Amino acid sequence: MTEQTGRGPEPAHERASATQVGARGPEGLPDEVGAEPGQADRATAGAGRPEAGVAVLPAFDDHHPPEQELIDDCVHCGFCLPTCPTYVLWGEEMDSPRGRIYLMEIGRQGEAMNDEMVRHFDQCLGCMACVTACPSGVQYGKLIEATRQQVERRYPRSRRDRAFRALIFRLFPYPRRLRLLRGPLRLYQRSGLGTLARRAGLLERLPRRLSAMERLVPDLGRPEPVPEVTPAVGPRRRRVGMLTGCVQRVFFPGVNAATARVLAADGCEVVTPRAQGCCGALSLHAGREAEAQGFARAAIETFEATGVDQVVVNAAGCGSAMKEYGHLLRDDPVFAERARAFSEKVRDLSELLVELGPVAPRHPLPMKVAWHDACHLGHAQGIRAQPRAALRAIPGLELREIAESEICCGSAGIYNLVEPEPAAELGDRKAANVLATGADLLVTSNPGCLLQLRNALERRGRHLAMAHVAEVLDAAVRGADPASLLARD
Amino acid sequence: MDRQALIRRLEEIVGPQGVISERNQLRTYECDGLANFRVIPSVVVLPETADQARETVRACHEAGVPFVARGSGTGLSGGALPVSDGVLIVLARMRRILEVDLDNQRAVVEPGVLNLQVTKEVAPDGLYYAPDPSSQQVCSIGGNVAENSGGAHCLKYGFTTNHVTGLEVVLPDGELVHLGGGKAPDPTGYDLLGAFVGSEGTLGIATTVTLRLLRKPEAVRTLLAAFDGTDQAGEAVSRIIGAGIVPAAIEMMDALAMEAAEAAVHVHYPEGAGAVLVVELDGPAAEVEHQFDEVERLCREAGSTTIQIAEDDDQRALFWKGRKSAFAAVGRISPDYYVQDGVIPRTALPEVLRRINQLAADRGLRVANVFHAGDGNLHPLVLYDGEVEGQEQRAEELAAEILFTCLEHGGSITGEHGVGFDKKQYMPRQFSAEDLDTMQLVRCAFDPDGRANPGKVFPTPRLCGERPGPRRVHPAEQAGLAEVF
Amino acid sequence: MGVQDLERDGLLRPAEAAYPIDGVRARFVALPRSVEEASQVLAAAAADGLAVAFAGGGGKLGLGNPPERVDLMVLTCGLDQVLEHAAGDLVVRAQAGVRLADLQQRLAPAGQWLALDPPEPRATLGGVVAANASGPRRLRYGTVRDLIIGITVVLADGTVARAGGKVVKNVAGYDLAKLFCGSLGTLGMVAEVIFRLHPLPAAAAVVALQVEGPDQAGQAVRRLLRSTLEPSAVELTLDEWGWPGRLTAVFEGIQPGVEAQAAAAAELLGQVGEAAVAGPGQTEAAFNQLGALPFEKAEYALKAAFPPAELAGVLEDLGGGRLRWGGGPMTAHAGTGVLWMASGAREGDIPADSAAFGSTVRAITKARERLAARGGSLVVVKAPPELKRAVDVWGPAGDALGLMRRVKERFDPDRRLSPGRFLGGI
In this structure, are C108 and C191 located in the same domain?
yes
| Whether B27 and A24 lie within 8 Å, measured CB to CB | no
In this structure, are C134 and C240 located in the same domain?
no
B118 within 8 A of B129, measured Cβ to Cβ: yes
B416 falls within a domain: no
Look at phi and psi of residue B191 and say left if phi exceeds 0, alpha if psi is from -120 to 50, else beta.
Answer: beta
In this structure, are C166 and C115 located in the same domain?
yes
Per-residue confidence (pLDDT) for residue A189, from 0 to 100: 63
B425 falls within a domain: no
pLDDT per residue as tens digits for the range C394-406: 999 999 999 999 9
Is the model's pLDDT at A32 over the cut of 60? no
In this structure, are C89 and C183 located in the same domain?
yes
In this structure, are C275 and C307 located in the same domain?
no
Is the model's pLDDT at C200 over the cut of 90? yes
B413 falls within a domain: no
| Structural domain that includes position C167 | 82-199
Average pLDDT over residues A456-461: 90
Distance from C-alpha of C78 to C-alpha of C56, rounded to nearest angstrom: 10
Interaxial angle between packed helices A447-459 and A420-436, expressed in degrees from 0 to 180 and rounded to the nearest 10: 80
State how beta strands C275-277 and C338-343 pair: unpaired
In this structure, are B211 and B229 located in the same domain?
no
**Does B122 lie at the interface with A, CB-CB under 8 angstroms?**
no
C192 falls within a domain: yes
Per-residue confidence (pLDDT) for residue C359, from 0 to 100: 84
Per-residue confidence (pLDDT) for residue A31, from 0 to 100: 28
Q: Which of residues 98-137 of C touch B (CB under 8 A)?
A: 111, 132, 134
A106 within 8 A of A58, measured Cβ to Cβ: no
In this structure, are C120 and C193 located in the same domain?
yes
| Whether B264 and A10 lie within 8 Å, measured CB to CB | no
- Cis peptide upstream of residue C244 (ω within 30 degrees of 0): yes
Positions of chain B with pLDDT under 70: 1, 466-485
In this structure, are C255 and C328 located in the same domain?
no
In this structure, are B81 and B153 located in the same domain?
no
In this structure, are B176 and B210 located in the same domain?
yes
B52 falls within a domain: yes
Is the model's pLDDT at A40 over the cut of 60? no
In this structure, are B7 and B63 located in the same domain?
yes
- Cis peptide upstream of residue C136 (ω within 30 degrees of 0): no
Average pLDDT over residues A53-62: 90
Instruction: With residue C95 as reference, give the H or E element that holds it.
Output: strand C91-95
Q: What is the CATH number of the domain that holds C226?
A: 3.30.70.2190
Average pLDDT over residues C315-332: 70
Residues of chain A contacting B90 with CB distance shorter than 8 Å: 91, 93
In this structure, are B403 and B436 located in the same domain?
no
**Does A191 lie at the interface with B, CB-CB under 8 angstroms?**
no
Average pLDDT over residues A399-413: 95
In this structure, are B121 and B269 located in the same domain?
no
pLDDT per residue as tens digits for the range A274-306: 999 999 999 999 999 999 999 999 999 999 999
C366 falls within a domain: yes
Closest CB from B191, B347, B441 relative to C181 = B191
**Does A169 lie at the interface with B, CB-CB under 8 angstroms?**
no
In this structure, are B161 and B234 located in the same domain?
no
Per-residue confidence (pLDDT) for residue B465, from 0 to 100: 76
Q: What is the CATH number of the domain that holds C334?
A: 3.30.70
Of B190, B215, B240, which residue is a domain's last?
B215
CA distances from C259 to C250, C252, C267, C277, C284 (A): 11, 9, 12, 9, 16
| Whether C230 and B148 lie within 8 Å, measured CB to CB | no
What's the gap in Å between the CA of B327 and the closest CA on chain C?
19
Split at pLDDT 50, 70, 90, the class of A200 is low
Q: What Rg do the C-alpha atoms of chain B give, in angstroms?
A: 23
Rounded to two decimals, the ipTM of the complex is: 0.95
C251 falls within a domain: yes
Is the model's pLDDT at A48 over the cut of 60? no
What chain C residue is nearest to B440 in terms of C-alpha separation?
C174
C408 falls within a domain: no
Is the model's pLDDT at A47 over the cut of 50? no
pLDDT over 90 percentage in chain C: 75
Per-residue confidence (pLDDT) for residue A198, from 0 to 100: 65
Residue C284 has, within 13 A of its CA and on its CB side, a CA count of 2
Q: What is the CATH number of the domain that holds B112?
A: 3.30.465.10
Greatest CA span in chain B, whole angstroms?
A: 70
Residue C198 has, within 13 A of its CA and on its CB side, a CA count of 24
Per the structure, the count of domains in chain B is 4
Average pLDDT over residues A301-327: 96
pLDDT over 70 percentage in chain C: 96
Is the model's pLDDT at C297 over the cut of 80? no
Mean pLDDT (chain A, rounded): 85
| Whether A15 and B137 lie within 8 Å, measured CB to CB | no
B109 falls within a domain: yes
B438 falls within a domain: yes
In this structure, are C119 and C191 located in the same domain?
yes
Residues of chain B contacting C336 with CB distance shorter than 8 Å: 185
Distance from C-alpha of C291 to C-alpha of C185, rounded to nearest angstrom: 25
In this structure, are B147 and B211 located in the same domain?
yes
Q: What is the CATH number of the domain that holds C191?
A: 3.30.465.10
pLDDT per residue as tens digits for the range C204-247: 999 999 999 999 999 999 999 999 999 999 999 988 767 889 99
In this structure, are B70 and B120 located in the same domain?
no
Is the model's pLDDT at C328 over the cut of 80? no
Interaxial angle between packed helices B349-363 and B391-408, expressed in degrees from 0 to 180 and rounded to the nearest 10: 160
A232 within 8 A of A267, measured Cβ to Cβ: yes
In this structure, are B104 and B175 located in the same domain?
yes
C23 falls within a domain: no
Split at pLDDT 50, 70, 90, the class of A42 is very low
In this structure, are B194 and B234 located in the same domain?
no
In this structure, are C189 and C229 located in the same domain?
no
**Does A68 lie at the interface with B, CB-CB under 8 angstroms?**
no
Q: What Rg do the C-alpha atoms of chain C give, in angstroms?
A: 22
B39 within 8 A of B45, measured Cβ to Cβ: no
Is the model's pLDDT at C321 over the cut of 50? no
Q: What is the CATH number of the domain that holds B85?
A: 3.30.43.10
Of B90, B119, B135, which residue is a domain's last?
B90
In this structure, are C281 and C349 located in the same domain?
no
What chain A residue is nearest to B92 in terms of C-alpha separation?
A91
Of C289, C315, C348, which residue is a domain's last?
C289
Average pLDDT over residues C188-193: 98
Q: By 3-state DSSP, what share of chain B in percent is helix, strand and coil, each rounded to 5?
A: 40, 20, 40
Q: Which of residues 1-60 of B touch A (CB under 8 A)?
A: 3-4, 7, 11, 16-25, 27-29, 31-33, 35, 46, 48
Three state DSSP letters for A35-85: CCCCCCCCCCCCCCCCCCCCEEECCCCCCCCCCHHHHHCCCCCCCCHHHCH
pLDDT per residue as tens digits for the range C227-237: 999 999 999 99
In this structure, are B144 and B269 located in the same domain?
no
B423 falls within a domain: no
Residues near C159 by beta carbon (within 8 Å), at least 6 away in sequence: B434, B437, B438, B468, B469, B470, C39
C124 falls within a domain: yes
| Structural domain that includes position B473 | 430-478
Split at pLDDT 50, 70, 90, the class of C363 is confident
Per-residue confidence (pLDDT) for residue A464, from 0 to 100: 93
B301 falls within a domain: yes
Of B152, B184, B215, which residue is a domain's last?
B215
Average pLDDT over residues A308-313: 96
Instruction: With residue C340 as reference, give the H or E element that holds it.
Output: strand C338-343
**Does C206 lie at the interface with B, CB-CB under 8 angstroms?**
no
In this structure, are C280 and C210 located in the same domain?
yes
C104 within 8 A of C120, measured Cβ to Cβ: no
pLDDT per residue as tens digits for the range C8-50: 999 999 988 889 999 899 999 999 999 999 999 999 999 999 9
* Residue C330 phi, psi (nearest 5): -140, 140
Residues of chain B contacting C89 with CB distance shorter than 8 Å: 345-347, 376
Per the structure, the count of domains in chain C is 3
Domains in chain A (CATH in brackets) are: 55-156 (1.10.1060.10), 160-216 (no CATH), 229-354 (3.40.50), 362-486 (3.40.50.11810)
Split at pLDDT 50, 70, 90, the class of A328 is very high
In this structure, are C189 and C95 located in the same domain?
yes
Distance from C-alpha of C163 to C-alpha of C172, rounded to nearest angstrom: 9
Residues of chain B contacting A16 with CB distance shorter than 8 Å: 7, 19-22
Q: Which of residues 131-150 of A touch B (CB under 8 A)?
A: 133-137
What's the gap in Å between the CA of C243 and the closest CA on chain B?
25
